[in-house]
Structure 1
């Protein structure tokens, strides 16, 4: 019987979480059977075009498990069910900090997963492992499902979900998991300060890969305008006000245009900044777009720019997926040395890094690339090589298959 892995996410499908969809597709190319569970639909209107290629069934959890789900799970293990229900009700603190669901609500989702797993057994596709993307709600559900069923689970911790949950909550999730994965060494350093030595033996970096066949370098052109592109949600940690101020310093240096793809709560503020800085003619906010549009925009661009920073409440990026897409597209990257950015962008090699919030340094780096097309092309070639070496989604999927204990399906 073919093994199956349950994949648990907070919502599905999220435009900003392309890395999850690409990961799922790469695992399916390896022959890994998946069963996708989302705690809620994303509710987004724009979807990545590759979502429709996912073969795995996708289920959305209800607010509460049906009585027959509770009965089935209790019948399969009365003591486990009673102990887990008691554990959930007595540990409300496990859902404090960055969370969207209470511990009791996560228990209801865990019961639904356990019942689904039981119903799949007679179909000849046993679920042998559960993987939770994000260390907040999904990882808590995975912990509770583990207590209900004995099913092993792993967790991928990313950014806010890692940095904004209490230490005790993070420890509880990590100590019961078989593996704790994350996208960058900076996150490993943070985990080392939060977890005990035994839990740290489970921690490893697996970079979010991208499809290197989708993002490829475009044709070199020289029409006198240097095209800068940026991609990200318009939220505080992305640092778009700093990028706009850096661009304001470039006016008069030479013809350039910045296009920002993404949407979010800061859209109005950023448009006001654009007007105040006199950038209406050189900065375009293009809104949310799927990867088809982003691929073409990067193929037509000369430079990628992003200026993230750590917010006062600790929110930050790991390795932004858009930076990896830019590297694969053969673009030199101008960014800030925050989170795991420096693990993808090596200063002076495939891009240029500035200290966080240093607008003048960002502006100087952009100006140097605006003035030097030869340097842009040289860094762009190295950028592509970096993506091929360290961010191939198929290679990442092979590593994940080993973590899940299903590597034999690929041989």
Structure 2
């Protein structure tokens, strides 16, 4: 579709983390240790290209997402900050600001701390002018680029098609600023960010890449998926499950450019945010309180919160004293509230709404087990690689989750927690009961989980591999040759 477009290539940051740190498709049911492939794609801890960045002339990378900042994209903000510490200048572009403000010592407090250029309402008129300017200056390029987006009309519902055209409009608008800032590479996150990145790349010639996360990106009615993979300099799959899925739908044609890079975290992040390490909730000589279950995730069907609520009912009927806290918000809130009421669990299960990251860590610290019973929803939506599981593991919490998507790559069944089949509240209750009855098991699983995060999901290692890809981008090579 976009093959006839010119392939010419042209020769950003925050302080939230640096001020803390200073410097349908199921996996086969088997051990998570066997789901992570060995070989050169595992890790490259020493990235020579990243270390050799010239601090006087940092490579400028544009990051694009739909909403920024946000409580559901903390992994993106970690990534941006880590790249900034490595010497990149990351410039953030987004469609709009978040509707919900969540002040947090870990996350940015304002646009001053993590600057971002927004499409709406700030720049709509300006983007209109830029689209007119691009059309008048390079009509053939503009129309060919637009045609690739217009061809999606028969495949999309009217609302989705209008959004896609808006993303093209925004991408063209952002592209002029990117060229003026001498951006050498564009990186998109999620479906909207990637569509904008594609449009900006088509009209500017700046190479682009994108990260494949979950449903809207790749699993459910993906927009321009083959074109995005084909045109991208590289694609980041945040788990092996997603990489294999992309390989499958593209017939392995672009497999060499699809790189599995996990969303990494720093295991001391909670401590640097002022939340101490988790202590055992069964101190010697003291009476134990209720067993505390925690889950964190948007209140949407694919998170499996309904199954967790039913599992809590089962535990209550078996005579266990349990309290369950579900952190998050979303369209399923009323449905879940009614389920809690129907099962007479008002004193057992609570819906806390969105909390900032520091507050989430504080809740994790006071909990006994983290549970996320993800499922492939009836509409096909599913988790990709829910990073909150890593955050819980970094706090030495045992995990109860499911065999869905990339979760088995994080959780080793019987070693760092238990994995159960989706929608099976009895199996979930059984797994939780085993943890209720064994302090030693909880402690062993928690310790093994934290060690696994430190070994395989380290933030600096993941970002070093991403930085290496950015440094080898055609746009950066052009920039280096012209200095």
- Name the structure 1 match of 2:278: 218
Superposition RMSD in Å: 2.4
- Name the structure 2 match of 1:199: 254
Q: Does 1:60 align with 2:118?
A: yes
TM-fit CA distance, 1:103? 3.6
**Cα distance, 1:374–1:279 mapped onto 2, change above 3 Å:** same
2:72 partner SS:
helix
Q: Does 1:291 align with 2:352?
A: no
Aligned partners of 1:213, 1:245: CA distance in 2, in Å? 34
Of the structure 1 ranges 94-103 and 361-370, higher mean CA displacement relative to structure 2 is found in 94-103
Q: Does 1:372 align with 2:372?
A: no
Cα distance per residue 1:333-365 (max 9 Å; x no partner)? 011111111110110000001011111111000
Do 1:95 and 1:102's aligned partners in 2 also have CA atoms closer than 8 Å?
no
Aligned partners of 2:159, 2:228: CA distance in 1, in Å? 14
- Name the structure 2 match of 1:238: 303
Do 1:100 and 1:137's aligned partners in 2 also have CA atoms closer than 8 Å?
no
Do 2:240 and 2:406's aligned partners in 1 also have CA atoms closer than 8 Å?
yes
User: Which of 342, 345, 353 lines up with 2:419 in the alignment?
Assistant: 353
- Name the structure 2 match of 1:316: 382
Q: Does 1:34 align with 2:90?
A: yes
User: Which of 321, 335, 341 lines up with 1:255 in the alignment?
Assistant: 321
Of the structure 1 ranges 273-282 and 298-307, higher mean CA displacement relative to structure 2 is found in 273-282
Cα distance per residue 1:193-237 (max 9 Å; x no partner)? 211333222112111112322236412231413211111111111
**Cα distance, 1:90–1:285 mapped onto 2, change above 3 Å:** closer
Do 1:188 and 1:205's aligned partners in 2 also have CA atoms closer than 8 Å?
yes
TM-fit CA distance, 1:72? 5.3
Aligned partners of 1:190, 1:338: CA distance in 2, in Å? 13
Alignment gaps of 5+ in structure 2:
1-56, 272-276, 477-483
Do 2:127 and 2:170's aligned partners in 1 also have CA atoms closer than 8 Å?
no
The residue correspondences of 1:168-183 to structure 2 (distance < 5 A) are 169-183=224-238
Q: Does 1:392 align with 2:392?
A: no
Larger RCO of the pair (alpha carbons < 8 Å, separation 6+): 2
- Name the structure 2 match of 1:300: 366
Aligned partners of 1:51, 1:150: CA distance in 2, in Å? 32
TM-fit CA distance, 1:238? 0.7
User: Which of 64, 71, 77 lines up with 1:15 in the alignment?
Assistant: 71
User: Which of 157, 161, 168 lines up with 1:107 in the alignment?
Assistant: 168
Cα distance per residue 1:89-126 (max 9 Å; x no partner)? 45545766994854432221121121102322xxxxx2
Aligned partners of 2:400, 2:64: CA distance in 1, in Å? 34
- Name the structure 2 match of 1:143: 198
Alignment gaps of 5+ in structure 1:
121-125
Of the structure 1 ranges 182-191 and 370-379, higher mean CA displacement relative to structure 2 is found in 182-191
**Cα distance, 1:101–1:154 mapped onto 2, change above 3 Å:** farther
Aligned partners of 1:376, 1:133: CA distance in 2, in Å? 35
The residue correspondences of 1:306-345 to structure 2 (distance < 5 A) are 306-345=372-411
Number of residue-to-residue matches in the alignment: 401
- Name the structure 2 match of 1:123: none
* TM-score under structure 1 length normalisation: 0.90
2:130 partner SS:
helix
TM-fit CA distance, 1:155? 0.9
TM-fit CA distance, 1:86? 4.4
Of the structure 1 ranges 275-284 and 97-106, higher mean CA displacement relative to structure 2 is found in 97-106
